[in-house]
Amino acid sequence: MIELNYDNCIDTNIGKEGISEDKFETLAGQAAECLEEYKKSPPGFMNLPFRFGEAEKIMKEAGKYKNFKNIVILGIGGSALGNTTLNDALNHPYHNIAEGRKTPRFFVLDNSDPSRTEALSQVIDPKETLFVVITKSGTTAETLANFFHFLKLLKDSVENWKENLVFITGSKGFLREFSDMHGIKTFPVPEDVGGRYSVLSEVGLFPAAVSGINIMSLLEGAADAAENEHVPVNYAALQCYFYRKSKNINVFMPYSSRLASAADWFCQLWAESLGKKESSGPTPVKAVGATDQHSQIQLYMEGPRDKVITFLGVEEGMPELKLDFEGHFLNGKSIRQLFKAEEKGTAGALAQAGIPNMTFKIPEINAYNVGELLYQLEVSCAVAGKLLKVNPFDQPGVEAGKKLSYKILEEG
């Protein structure tokens, strides 16, 4: 299973800016108590890994849509980032152009930027496309705007346009009313699960199943993660400790291009859950190894000492790609060896500079381990909320911008 290596956070390894073993054990104990409190009345996301019966139904329904050439996800925030994460991690990196692909091309439209909406319209045929519209409230303006655009294209080109639509939404709102009126296939969003915690619900599972991802294995990994409590507990304890020590930036840095989207997903989870008035909240920053060794690491090594670095390291399953070029130091090595050396070298250099960093050690990238990782990060975020004394399940700061945007729109 996934491990969290935090050696590069301990003071005996990195110096005075680290945490002592005694202090860590105390804080980890407090974090474990927070998790026990949650278990007495679990928030909705903690129940998602165990819904295997629902997953079987989703798989059965998903089989009806695999003959579409394209699947387009219309959503924003938690309705989109989880789907992008699963697709990028678990499908071929060039899924949409890979030879022998047996499932639909996969597109996520997660913005109301008209240039992007128009561009997607130009490269897909609505007749060959399944549009999956995702909004828990059923009223998200950006999502509905894109839906209305593609709905018109569908109606203009497909007689039975309803068969090209699937909604994933709550029990109320415009989308639910529209589905009831027209008989659109609809999956529910659990009422007690917020968008940023919804990747293991129908929100993420249905699109994943259509695209060929093993969603049962995804849930199995998440369910087993619930028994591996020390990982999220330790992560929450360390992050909150360093935040209180004025290291209020959490750099999330996968050493895997396939997990780069997981960093986007994590940034929403962390920012929207913990950035509250009661606490300014740790600021999450995305980086990707080894790419950002050449853009951000200079700042992390020698800039303000206000950061803690989280690495995701993949242990196995990467291709070797042996190199053969006489006279060069890379001769006889592999690209994988170089990549892993860069990961370990970066972590080691940061530690030598006294900058705390920790690594999630992922055995390999598969559905089981991705499910485990996402669930562990969700639990750690919820525990961190309790430690910081904030509500990790609301987002009042988002609503003000929405209301002002709608007012501007109404006034023209």
Residue 412, pLDDT score: 77
Is the pLDDT at 409 greater than 90, yes or no?
A: no
The pTM of the whole model exceeds 0.85: yes
The mean pLDDT value of the chain amounts to 96
Q: Are strands 105-109 and 70-74 parallel, antiparallel or unpaired?
A: parallel
Q: Give the model's pLDDT for residue 123.
A: 97
Cα angle for residues 226, 229, 234 (degrees, 5° grid) = 145
The one catalytic residue in 16, 102, 294, 389 is: 294
pLDDT of residue 60: 97
Asked if residue 46 is part of any domain, the answer here is no
Residue 403 counted as domain residue: no
**Tally of domains within the chain:** 2
Chain segment 179-225, per-residue pLDDT in tens: 999 999 999 999 999 999 999 999 999 999 999 999 999 999 999 99
Q: Which of 142, 220, 272, 378 is catalytic?
A: 272
pLDDT computed for residue 279 by the predictor: 72
Same domain, 73 and 104: yes
pLDDT band at 387 (very low <50, low <70, confident <90, very high): very high
pLDDT digits (tens, 9 = 90+) for 110-121: 999 999 999 999
Domain check: are 8 and 137 in the same one?
no
Our answer to whether residue 159 is catalytic in this structure is no
Q: 7 lies in a domain?
A: yes
- The answer to whether 352 and 320 have CB atoms below 8 angstroms apart is no
Please tell me the predicted confidence (pLDDT) of residue 398: 78
Clarify whether residues 370 and 391 are in a common domain. yes
Domain coverage including residue 315: 3-40+220-397
Contact 268, 327 (CB under 8 A): no
Distance CA 241, CA 164 (A): 49
Asked whether residue 322 carries a pLDDT value surpassing 80, the answer given is yes
Dihedral (CA of 16, 20, 26, 28) sign: positive
Comparing 156-160, 227-231, 403-407, the range with the smallest average pLDDT is 403-407
pLDDT at 88: 98
Residues 161 and 235 in one domain: no
In the predicted model, is pLDDT for residue 283 greater than 80? Answer: yes
Based on the residue annotation, tell me whether 272 is a catalytic residue of this protein.
yes
Q: Residue 247 catalytic?
A: no
247 with 390, same domain: the answer is yes
| Strands 3-5 and 357-362, bridge-based pairing | antiparallel
Q: Active site residue: 182, 322, 328, 402, which one?
A: 402
- Same domain (yes/no): 386, 293: yes
Whether 403 shows a pLDDT value over 90: the answer reads no
Q: Do 186 and 167 touch, CB atoms closer than 8 A?
A: yes
Instruction: Specify whether 230 is located in the same domain as 370.
Output: yes
